[in-house]
A and B are shown apart, each in its own frame.
Chain A
Amino acid sequence: MRLSKPAKAILAILSALTLVYIYTPIGVVLINSFNASKNMSWPPSEFTLHWWQVATQSAGMLSALATSILVATASAAIALVLGTLLALAMSRYKFFGKQPVSLMVILPIALPGIVTGIALNNAFRTILGVQLTIATLIVAHATFCIVTVYNNALARLNRMNKTMEEASADLGAGVWTTFRLVTLPQMASALVAGALLAFALSFDEIIVTTFTASGGVETLPIWILNNMFRPGKAPVVDVVAVVVVLISVLPIYFAQRLTVAEKTR
């Protein structure tokens, strides 16, 4: 199959339009965060830094930011440990029930968020009789974050040369020493990438969060949701939305760089 020049041009134009479609709404939010108008009117007639100033002075917003960072860090840390252990088991051993296990890891993100949310809400409140707190929120987030670390670690482990580990053992290194000095250094960048993705996934999650956080726990996405419908709040919400995008996209960007750098090496 050889594509004609016009066919290629049409494909290029459609691709460009798709990118415009993908970036316009996010661009609108970014521009609106500088829009002097209070009610998101387009096109902006005047620009201002006022809303950014208001946002940085909002105590509610700052405490929500701190909560989000705490939850995302804790969930990523738990996911890092559990995902790495599971990836090591899946890549280096054969065992009964391997298939169901791989399904079980992706289930928390494959099922609609509302199912995960209500299942955990029900388990905490009805079955265990536990009050919703920041801890229940972290448990919930860690559960669906495991898969990002697991996927990254597994992909790396499958590409790694197993003879190095065997050589290490033959030279007398113990199991732990081999892991620490041979396996871990080779998979470190994949683990960092996985943990960064887990952080980002947790940082902007909203659906499971609304079901597993108590009323007093306000993450940044919940802050946005609570303020979005309030009159006159739109410009400040725009600012916070831009901040949320930056904080979640930057880790992804670095994670991507880490994995790409590894592949091309």
Chain B
Amino acid sequence: MSDGPVSVTLKGSDISAPKSFAHRVSSRLYASAKLRLRLLVSAPLLWLALVYVAALLALFVTAFWTMDSFTGEIRPDWNLDNFIQLFTNSLYQTVTLRTLGIALMVTVVDILIALPIAFFMAKVASPRMRGILVISILMPLWASYLVKAYAWRSVLSNEGILQWLLRPLGLDTPGYSLVGAALTLGYIWLPYVILPIYTGLEKVPQNILEASSDLGAKTWSTLRLIVFPMLLPAIAAGSIFAFSLTMGDYITINIVGGATQMLGNLVYTNVGIANNLPMAAAIAMIPIAIMFIYLSVIRKTGALDNL
């Protein structure tokens, strides 16, 4: 024990006694903030840099290598063949456009669904109700992504609940298709969109809204001129998740998308079945590039500080 007043008196009395090893380490650490910092950051930084950043760089490098089609061996022969494939083979263009389209659609629909409930939570509900709603939105966020995709497999099936609900209206379930996949993806990422928008709305001070109405603005004008501009970074923050997560999806599309393919499927088949890692790496560059463009556009709204 070296805490509290006891240790202070002890130290005062044997100030000339030889210090223990632990004591010397402690004073050395106390004296040097730099040393303390180095000890703290070295392990986590080494892990992140060695495991993750190095892996990302290696992925980039591998995209320029080749797989020997006879032996199946991966050789570090530098060339652009994989990228030439990406740009000339129409399969990749079609799938990229499809993936981008689904991602944008899912993002927009999620924002539209998220706005009313986020607004209700932040500005209408009582504090008690708000707490309950936040938990209700949070809980499914953490329920397995796979389980949610699987749940939609039941919902969309020919004998499922959607067919049962739609039949009286003379409609059919979209089944396992592009539409089915978009519905499922929108469903899965919805809580990720609601929460940042809700947090953003909570930060909009009540007195600004009251001032706006005192100055004669109608509700709609207040929403458009005051709330929306203040909320834009939060909406953008929410969109990052829906967009990015859809761009990289391949499980949901396998489960409820029928034969529809997204970029993720192409990556996965090249890793698993074809064992052509260089090609898979090259394809994976497409969502990464799109995400970087998306993030750099969104950065301007200040969304990244809202995560």
Binary per-residue interface labels of chain B (52-82) against chain A in the complex, 1 for a CB within 8 Å, 0 otherwise:
1111101100100000000000100000000
Whole-angstrom CA separation of A81 from B288 in the bound complex: 29
Chain B residue at minimum C-beta to C-beta distance from A7: B219
Contacts A24-B155, A110-B244, A115-B288 given; indicate if A43 touches B124 (C-beta within 8 A): no
> Using a Cβ–Cβ cut-off of 8 Å, how many residues does chain A contribute to the interface with B?
95
With a cutoff of 8 Å between Cβ atoms, the chain B residues found around residue A204 in the complex are 143-147
B43 in contact (CB, < 8 A): yes
Asked whether A174 lies within 8 Å of B40 as measured between CB atoms, the reply is: no
With a cutoff of 8 Å between Cβ atoms, the chain A residues found around residue B59 in the complex are 115, 118-119, 122-123
A111 in contact (CB, < 8 A): yes
Whole-angstrom CA separation of A139 from B52 in the bound complex: 10
Asked whether B146 lies within 8 Å of A221 as measured between CB atoms, the reply is: yes
Asked whether A112 lies within 8 Å of B245 as measured between CB atoms, the reply is: yes
Asked whether A248 lies within 8 Å of B143 as measured between CB atoms, the reply is: yes
Asked whether A81 lies within 8 Å of B147 as measured between CB atoms, the reply is: no
Asked whether A244 lies within 8 Å of B147 as measured between CB atoms, the reply is: yes
Binary per-residue interface labels of chain A (40-56) against chain B in the complex, 1 for a CB within 8 Å, 0 otherwise:
11110000000000000
Q: Of residues 70 to 128 in B, which have CB atoms within 8 Å of A's CB atoms? A: 74, 113, 116-117, 119-121, 123-124
With a cutoff of 8 Å between Cβ atoms, the chain A residues found around residue B154 in the complex are 25, 28-29, 32, 40, 42, 234, 238
Whole-angstrom CA separation of A111 from B163 in the bound complex: 35
With a cutoff of 8 Å between Cβ atoms, the chain A residues found around residue B30 in the complex are 169, 174-175
With a cutoff of 8 Å between Cβ atoms, the chain A residues found around residue B138 in the complex are 252, 256
Contacts A3-B219, A42-B160, A123-B54 given; indicate if A206 touches B251 (C-beta within 8 A): yes
Whole-angstrom CA separation of A225 from B252 in the bound complex: 11
With a cutoff of 8 Å between Cβ atoms, the chain A residues found around residue B271 in the complex are 118, 121, 211
B268 in contact (CB, < 8 A): yes
B178 in contact (CB, < 8 A): no
Asked whether B164 lies within 8 Å of A1 as measured between CB atoms, the reply is: no
With a cutoff of 8 Å between Cβ atoms, the chain B residues found around residue A192 in the complex are none
Binary per-residue interface labels of chain B (203-233) against chain A in the complex, 1 for a CB within 8 Å, 0 otherwise:
0000001101100010100110011000000
Count chain B CB atoms within 10 A of each CB in A14, A21, A114, A197 and give the residue with the most: A114
Whole-angstrom CA separation of A121 from B108 in the bound complex: 32
Asked whether B251 lies within 8 Å of A85 as measured between CB atoms, the reply is: no
With a cutoff of 8 Å between Cβ atoms, the chain B residues found around residue A86 in the complex are 40-41, 44-45
Contacts A112-B245, A221-B144, A244-B144 given; indicate if A104 touches B53 (C-beta within 8 A): yes
With a cutoff of 8 Å between Cβ atoms, the chain A residues found around residue B16 in the complex are none
Asked whether B37 lies within 8 Å of A95 as measured between CB atoms, the reply is: yes
Contacts A7-B219, A206-B251, A249-B139 given; indicate if A241 touches B151 (C-beta within 8 A): yes
Asked whether B53 lies within 8 Å of A1 as measured between CB atoms, the reply is: no
Contacts A120-B51, A174-B30, A200-B142 given; indicate if A125 touches B277 (C-beta within 8 A): yes
Asked whether B280 lies within 8 Å of A118 as measured between CB atoms, the reply is: yes
Whole-angstrom CA separation of A172 from B22 in the bound complex: 14
A168 in contact (CB, < 8 A): yes
Binary per-residue interface labels of chain B (257-280) against chain A in the complex, 1 for a CB within 8 Å, 0 otherwise:
000000110011001000001001
Smallest distance from the beta carbon of A29 to chain B beta carbons, Å?
Answer: 5
Asked whether A173 lies within 8 Å of B2 as measured between CB atoms, the reply is: yes
Whole-angstrom CA separation of A12 from B121 in the bound complex: 9
A69 in contact (CB, < 8 A): no
**Which of B62, B144, B247 is within 8 Å of A122, CB to CB?**
B62
A160 in contact (CB, < 8 A): no
With a cutoff of 8 Å between Cβ atoms, the chain B residues found around residue A19 in the complex are 117, 133, 136
Asked whether A256 lies within 8 Å of B120 as measured between CB atoms, the reply is: no
A89 in contact (CB, < 8 A): yes
Asked whether A15 lies within 8 Å of B116 as measured between CB atoms, the reply is: yes
**Which of A101, A171, A237, A244 is within 8 Å of B45, CB to CB?**
A101
Q: Of residues 219 to 248 in A, which have CB atoms within 8 Å of B's CB atoms? A: 221, 224-225, 228, 234, 237-238, 241, 244-245, 248
Closest 7 CB pairs of A and B: A112-B248, A174-B26, A204-B144, A25-B151, A123-B55, A41-B159, A1-B222
24 A-B pairs in the complex with CB atoms less than 8 angstroms apart:
A1-B209, A1-B219, A1-B226, A14-B120, A18-B117, A18-B190, A22-B187, A24-B155, A24-B161, A40-B159, A93-B33, A105-B48, A111-B244, A111-B291, A113-B248, A118-B267, A119-B56, A146-B48, A204-B147, A206-B144, A211-B271, A225-B251, A238-B154, A245-B147
Could you tell me which B residues sit within 8 Å of A by CB distance? 2-5, 7-8, 11, 22-23, 26-27, 29-30, 33, 36-37, 40-41, 43-45, 47-49, 51-56, 58-59, 62, 74, 113, 116-117, 119-121, 123-124, 133, 135-140, 142-148, 150-155, 157, 159-161, 163-164, 187, 190-191, 194, 209-210, 212-213, 217, 219, 222-223, 226-227, 240, 244-245, 247-251, 255, 263-264, 267-268, 271, 277, 280-281, 284, 287-288, 291, 307
A-B contact sample (20 more), CB < 8 A, given A40-B153, A171-B3: A1-B223, A14-B120, A25-B155, A25-B187, A40-B157, A42-B160, A42-B164, A85-B41, A114-B263, A114-B268, A115-B288, A118-B281, A120-B51, A121-B271, A126-B62, A143-B47, A173-B7, A174-B23, A249-B143, A252-B139
